[in-house]
Structure 1
Amino acid sequence: MFQKELDLRVPRDNFYHCLVTAAHQFHNREADDTRYLLAGYPWFKCRARDTFISLPGLTLAIDEADYFELVMNTAERGLREFMKGDPLSVKIYEMDQPDVPLWAVWAIQQYAKYVGRDRAFDMYGKLLQDIIVYIKDGGHPNLRLDDNGLLYADGKEKAITWMNSKANGKPVVPRSGYIVEFNALWYNAVKFCALMAAEKGDVKGAGVLEELAAKTKKSFVDTFVNEYGYLLDYVDGNMMDWSVRPNQIFAVALDYSPLNQQQMKSVVDICTRELLTPKGLRSLSPKSGGYNPMYVGPQTQRDYAYHQGTAWPWLGGFYMEACLKLYKRSRLSFIERQMVGYEDEMDYHAIGTISELFDGNPPFHGRGAMSFAMNVAEILRTMKLLEKYSYQK
């Protein structure tokens, strides 16, 4: 019995093994057919957006596709219940956030790259179709597909993105209207589902989706690309947020980008110059108004700083993916050096795992929850990407 338990343990003898152990600590089981991923320790529960963003890194990146399926099956149950307007039978919170279905498509896309598109379609093809129809038909109470192919969501009074801190009951960052990562995810989802439909012989359905994607692509560029070479964070009527924020990196990192090569390079360049730290991307550039990089002080002070300059490792994962996508092997050594900043944390703030966020200025102290699923997941996924590009000729 002792030897059996010992064999099941992952030794914390290197950076990778520490992260694998941390990944397993987010597992949560309630019944034989119900699996969750906790968003973090010590106070986070299971949150929908965090689940779908974390899932590929916490499972596929460490060759645990079976656990991906267990968690996804639980999450799919909750997502379908929400889309039908039924009470949720699963304990996954914040399922009503507008980008949750889009992140679900992204998670399935990562699964398809791991197991193959045929198996992914067999497992989740119907869910992909239902999500696209749900969004196109206006099923979500706070997500509207406009005639220009872009998604509109109202976040003026309630925080609806991952930048969800509140002060006096109002969002600190009231992102509303056409939100940059929502629409990058939407374009990626439509293109991916068009590919899946075409490969399964649904030529008509694929054609409809490709037509929609072309419209979304043009509108995305017209709406978000500005003359300074980066992307607006959100656009709501005449209101345009010119803050340099990391949400634009998704438009480069995702498999399908509405941007051309030069536009993608320009986005990566500004993220490198103004947002990159040894602990991930800052949530706001030091050159933008309201920069507040130190997550310290009483609760209200911390709420105002939460997404106003603090650094987040999970965003760094998408940044590194964007770099590899654009520059391939020539950026390997640069990204390997970036990973050192995370490895240093293994024996500093929380032993063997990664904190929720970090101060955006040196010395970049870890703050918030002592262990955060999305951060661990994206570092593991980056390791997998490094392995992939290292073996490419």
Structure 2
Amino acid sequence: MGYLKFDKTLLINLEESLQREILCTNRKGAYHSTTVIDCNTRKYHGMLICPVPKLDSENHVLLSSLDVTVIQHRTEFNLGIHQYAGRYFNPSGQKYLRQFEFETVLKTTYRVGGVILIKEKVFTTFENRILIKYTLLDAHSSTVLRFRPFLAFRSVNALTYANPVAKRDYTEINFGIKTCMYDDYPDLYMQFNKKVCFVFQPNWYKNIEYSKELELGLAYKEDLYVPGYFELSIEKGESIYFSASDTFIDPANIVDEYNRGSQVHTPRTSFYNCLKNSAQQFYYHPTESGFYLLAGYPWFKVRARDLFISMPGCSLAVDDPASFEKLMDTAMIALRRFMRNGNCDKVIQEIYMPDVLLWAIWALQEYAKYTSLAQCSVRYGKLIQNIIQYIMSNKHPILILKPNGLLYANGKTNAVTWMNSTFEGKPILPRSGYIVEFNALWFNALKFSVELSRFTNEGKRAAMLEQKANQTESSFVSTFVNKYGYLYDYVDEEYINWSVRPNMLFAISLDYSPLSRTQKRSVLNIVTRELLTPKGIRSLSPRSEGYRPYCTGYQHERDLAYHQGTVWPWLLGVYLEAYLKLYQRRGVSFIERMLIGLDEEMNTHCISSLSELFDGNPPFQSRGAISFAMNVASILHVLKLLDNYNNEK
């Protein structure tokens, strides 16, 4: 059996199959997502979901689903599946499923009596277009396929209902139709590669339910509009191709377009290959000059902190330095604009957060290790100098460099760290003052700048930065190290936060650490004992006050639990890098064993990717966004480190 392959036993078991989701994206921010049995369980699911710039900055569901019916001897077998009230599924197309696999394309096999039909889906890279290939592998009599499109034309953040405003008119085009339900939306082009009959039979299918929204206490029912159906005959051995897009395609080009789209991805035949494909799904190229990383799917946009944390793993770790340079060159413009006049970028959100500049230097440090100090210096040396000087001059609106050499940020009224959940506009975790990861990153940035300055023979600058780093090192140890062998999470004047949290990991994972080897081992041991799980690192120790391991319930309940014990895979990458730094080759086998828990995730929740977070207690159920860039990038980074160790002679 292939790496990502499911048989009939799992597929017809709705308790199992409805928990497994698929995701295909393009570089424009559009995507296709549903479950492995093509039954939508979220309002974010759909056959074709894409941006509509005329309306807003959100994605919009144009084509929600496409039901296929096999007709033989005037008997209809509908392969579709929708959930209605009382967990009633109609039609029950899952009973015809035989196999699902995801290697290069999404491939589903159906069997209806003597009919074997294969459906294969491709989402194109630079257009908002989904292409579906239907192949009649076997049939003992004449066969007709009927295609019934379910249209939504609404934001992913909303639901739609039957209404008299929706436009029903359509226009026949080459081998299909185009239609648009509301003003300012693009036309939806639905076409085949051969002549097809369209029967206009408008109807609203009411009260379709999305179980994931119900679980979260959100609105979960909607009505979908079906304008009619397409019908055409198919011969044994024949393939029919369908295209849905916001642009027209010449039907003569559909097959070639499908073939090109099916060959662009690395086959998902291993843990690494799955993560590599997943990393590339975050690439966002909305304009000719802009190249970004989305923070995750299905609802995250480009966030500055996530961008810099994810950048090395999503590019350098898959041996793609060219993409790193495109990402950094785009981000560099936004960083310079922010440092020059405080302007925020229209695409990169939250660039003003106090640790963003520090993460940018860390990303450049990784670039220097992958390429060379010389190349990093030539391309980005000036940017690094500007960032250091900007921070040292106390020009940042939130971040303050204190006389003791430590960075201070006020997080009492606004969430300023990655632990950024809020309630009624106020941070649930008001991490404020001297924040441990900020200062670990700052010490690392200073030492890396010293390294660069020495490389470029700037002795005076190197000496000045070394002096600053020494001061930071001394203050870091006296401020954060406690007698119990771990680090305070943050210290604000007289207040000391004793919670055992994972943020102290950065003080031992970064290339330059202010801690001694003994102190590093002590921190690692406590994290191992209290925070380590098979899926990642807990955001809070079960022994600390306020531990909430389950990120469930209504929005407020989830916000309260978001960083109070939930498990984050990206922090596992930080932990494993720290482990390698301490134990080097002796730690390789341990790290390989630890990654097994995430390897198993390739077959659950979002197939071939990593979810945003997990519950803090067994069975460590996945939660949040179905695919999260920081998680994918961090684990790819560790796999690259392992590969380097294993390739050493």
Query: Quick one: distance in 2 between partners of 1:261 and 1:108?
Result: 25
Query: Quick one: distance in 1 between partners of 2:434 and 2:460?
Result: 28
> 1:167 offset after TM fit, Å?
1.5
> 1:31 offset after TM fit, Å?
1.9
> 1:89 offset after TM fit, Å?
4.8
Please say if residues 112 and 120 of structure 1, whose CA atoms lie closer than 8 Å, have aligned partners that are also in contact: yes
> 1:389 offset after TM fit, Å?
1.8
> 1:8 offset after TM fit, Å?
2.0
1:273-292 aligned at under 5 Å gives the runs 273-292=529-548
Query: Quick one: distance in 2 between partners of 1:130 and 1:184?
Result: 19
> 1:10 offset after TM fit, Å?
1.4
Please say if residues 74 and 90 of structure 1, whose CA atoms lie closer than 8 Å, have aligned partners that are also in contact: no
- 1:117 and 2:373 equivalent? yes
- 1:33 and 2:282 equivalent? no
* 2:631 match: 375
Please say if residues 354 and 376 of structure 1, whose CA atoms lie closer than 8 Å, have aligned partners that are also in contact: yes
Query: Quick one: distance in 1 between partners of 2:523 and 2:618?
Result: 24
Give the count of matched residue pairs: 393
- 1:46 and 2:46 equivalent? no
> 1:329 offset after TM fit, Å?
1.1
Equivalent residue in structure 1 for 2:553, among 289, 297, 302: 297
* 1:247 match: 503
TM-score normalised according to structure 2 size: 0.60
> 1:32 offset after TM fit, Å?
2.1
* 1:337 match: 593
* 1:62 match: 318
* Local SS of the residue matching 1:235: strand
Query: Quick one: distance in 2 between partners of 1:99 and 1:205?
Result: 23
- 1:346 and 2:632 equivalent? no
- 1:162 and 2:434 equivalent? no
- Amino acid aligned to 1:258: P
* Local SS of the residue matching 1:30: coil
- 1:267 and 2:523 equivalent? yes
Render the CA deviation track for 1:238-295: whole Å, top value 9, x for unaligned: 1000000000000000000000000000000000000000111000000000000100
* Local SS of the residue matching 1:59: helix
- Amino acid aligned to 1:62: V
Moved more, 86-95 or 328-337: 86-95
Equivalent residue in structure 1 for 2:390, among 116, 129, 134: 134
Query: Quick one: distance in 1 between partners of 2:321 and 2:279?
Result: 14
- 1:314 and 2:578 equivalent? no
Moved more, 218-227 or 167-176: 167-176
* 1:176 match: 432
Please say if residues 225 and 231 of structure 1, whose CA atoms lie closer than 8 Å, have aligned partners that are also in contact: yes
Query: Quick one: distance in 1 between partners of 2:296 and 2:640?
Result: 22
Please say if residues 57 and 381 of structure 1, whose CA atoms lie closer than 8 Å, have aligned partners that are also in contact: yes
- 1:386 and 2:629 equivalent? no
Equivalent residue in structure 2 for 1:85, among 341, 352, 376: 341
Query: Quick one: distance in 2 between partners of 1:86 and 1:181?
Result: 24
Moved more, 6-15 or 156-165: 6-15
Please say if residues 345 and 351 of structure 2, whose CA atoms lie closer than 8 Å, have aligned partners that are also in contact: no
CA RMSD in angstroms comes to: 1.0
* Local SS of the residue matching 2:285: strand
> 1:53 offset after TM fit, Å?
0.1
Query: Quick one: distance in 1 between partners of 2:299 and 2:521?
Result: 38
Please say if residues 344 and 351 of structure 2, whose CA atoms lie closer than 8 Å, have aligned partners that are also in contact: no
* 2:229 match: none
> 1:11 offset after TM fit, Å?
1.1
* Local SS of the residue matching 1:98: coil
* 2:356 match: 100
> 1:392 offset after TM fit, Å?
3.4
Equivalent residue in structure 2 for 1:9, among 256, 261, 265: 265
Query: Quick one: distance in 2 between partners of 1:251 and 1:88?
Result: 29
* 1:143 match: 399
Query: Quick one: distance in 1 between partners of 2:621 and 2:259?
Result: 39
* 1:192 match: 448
Query: Quick one: distance in 2 between partners of 1:289 and 1:100?
Result: 29
Please say if residues 612 and 624 of structure 2, whose CA atoms lie closer than 8 Å, have aligned partners that are also in contact: yes
Query: Quick one: distance in 2 between partners of 1:169 and 1:8?
Result: 43
> 1:194 offset after TM fit, Å?
0.8
TM-score normalised according to structure 1 size: 0.98
- 1:222 and 2:470 equivalent? no
Query: Quick one: distance in 2 between partners of 1:89 and 1:328?
Result: 40
> 1:304 offset after TM fit, Å?
0.3
Equivalent residue in structure 1 for 2:466, among 195, 210, 218: 210
Render the CA deviation track for 1:172-227: whole Å, top value 9, x for unaligned: 11100000000000000000001101110100000000000000000000000000
> 1:13 offset after TM fit, Å?
1.5
Which structure's residues are more often helix, by fraction?
1
> 1:86 offset after TM fit, Å?
4.7
Which structure's residues are more often strand, by fraction?
2
Query: Quick one: distance in 2 between partners of 1:117 and 1:6?
Result: 38
Please say if residues 33 and 70 of structure 1, whose CA atoms lie closer than 8 Å, have aligned partners that are also in contact: no
Moved more, 382-391 or 284-293: 382-391
Structure 1: tracts of 5 or more residues without a match: none
* Local SS of the residue matching 2:291: strand
Query: Quick one: distance in 1 between partners of 2:342 and 2:564?
Result: 36
- 1:363 and 2:619 equivalent? yes
- Amino acid aligned to 2:353: Q
Query: Quick one: distance in 1 between partners of 2:561 and 2:388?
Result: 35
Overall identity of the aligned pairs, in %:
56
Please say if residues 77 and 90 of structure 1, whose CA atoms lie closer than 8 Å, have aligned partners that are also in contact: no
* Local SS of the residue matching 1:31: coil
> 1:390 offset after TM fit, Å?
2.1
Query: Quick one: distance in 2 between partners of 1:261 and 1:378?
Result: 24
* 2:327 match: 71
